[in-house]
Amino acid sequence: MEGEKGSVCVTGGAGYIASWLIMRLLRHGYSVRATVRSDPKFKEDASHLVKLHGAQERLQIFDADLETPESFEPVINGCIGVFHLSHPMDFEGTMSKETIIKTSVEGILGILQACLKYKTVKKVVYTSSIAAASLFDTTKNIKEIDENQWSDAEMIRKLDFIGAAYIASKTLTERAALEFSKEHGLDVVTILPSTIIGPFINSTLPSSFPMTLPLIFGNEEHARFMKTGHFVHIDDVASAQIFLFECSKAVGRHICNKTDVTIQEIANILILKYSEHLLPNDYLSKWEEEKPDHFSSKKLTELGFKFKYGLEEMIDGALQCCQDKGLL
């Protein structure tokens, strides 16, 4: 049955962010066509999606893979919108950086070509990352980062550090999407969330949590990578994605960041409520506290979007969900 607002496609549907977005889209009256990876080596569990309210009537799940972009065509045909969240992930280190970049860029271009082909899609929302606006150039000394800044993907793709492939691929994929939009007149907007935290629908721990909450789930290397952080609640991200899809004035890039913090500030919250779960973190006292850069969401909020959640609610939502699911 067609939802009152029409059908939309959500790629990467089994993931942490996409599954929450699907829940919100169903509540908003949309019908959802979600894609999951078709490769049997990476077969994804979508059982949490079929349990969502409204899923029986308005959710369809399809196999599709970025390595074969044409696999998205039958899913997109007839949709009024596409929310593209699928991204090549390689937690075991078996894919080269160049393979990840190539798969991501060619994947989105194939999806955008399908949108042009079937002519029913009014807008595409691509979920990028603030990593695509993080500069990684200390000589510029910019303390407030907005949508005008881009990470140097060509520099990053030559480096060897945690997340280099992710940052380079997100940056180049977002650029490719916006260039395609300009060239072909297809309405594409991008959202650049900061580190996403909060409750989750999946039955397993989101793969991002060891990096997101290293003092609980990670290690010193993760914590060092997150000495300063930028955070946004999962529900605010999903709401912003839908807001940008429905907002006729939305154009181009939109940073989605609620708060900029230090790992010491996060530790102070965790000590009060979750001290029994904290990993040993004596190393925090050895680090000089750094002031985080500010990622500005001014463009998004000036369109009328309002954030609902603060840092404590993000942490509480995530860890209470972990406790409820027996993961903490």
88/170 Cα distance (integer angstroms): 10
The residue type of 267 is A
User: Would 139 be classed as within a structural domain?
Assistant: yes
User: Would 283 be classed as within a structural domain?
Assistant: no
User: Would 193 be classed as within a structural domain?
Assistant: yes
Model pLDDT, residue 127:
98
Residues (pLDDT < 70) of the chain are 1-3, 38-43, 90-94, 135-141
* Residue pLDDT, tens place only, 116-164: 999 999 999 999 999 999 866 554 567 789 999 999 998 888 887 778 8
Model pLDDT, residue 135:
64
User: Would 65 be classed as within a structural domain?
Assistant: yes
Model pLDDT, residue 3:
59
Domain span at residue 171?
7-199+231-260+293-311
Model pLDDT, residue 279:
84
Contact 49/22 with Cβ under 8 angstroms?
yes
Contacts of 316 (CB under 8 A, 6+ apart): 273
State how many domains the chain has: 1
Which long-range CB contacts under 8 A does 53-57 form with residues at least 24 apart?
Answer: 53/23, 53/26, 53/27, 54/26, 54/27, 55/26, 57/1
Of 97, 170, 258, 299, the catalytic one is 170
Model pLDDT, residue 139:
47
Q: What is the CATH number of the domain that holds 97?
A: 3.40.50.720
* 102 is annotated as an active-site residue: no
Query: What's the predicted TM-score (pTM) here?
Result: 0.94
Model pLDDT, residue 118:
92
User: Would 317 be classed as within a structural domain?
Assistant: no
User: Would 222 be classed as within a structural domain?
Assistant: no
104/98 Cα distance (integer angstroms): 10
Model pLDDT, residue 46:
85
If we measure between CA atoms, which residue out of 53, 318, 304 comes closest to residue 199? 318
User: Would 39 be classed as within a structural domain?
Assistant: yes
Model pLDDT, residue 289:
79
User: Would 223 be classed as within a structural domain?
Assistant: no
73/164 Cα distance (integer angstroms): 30
Model pLDDT, residue 207:
87
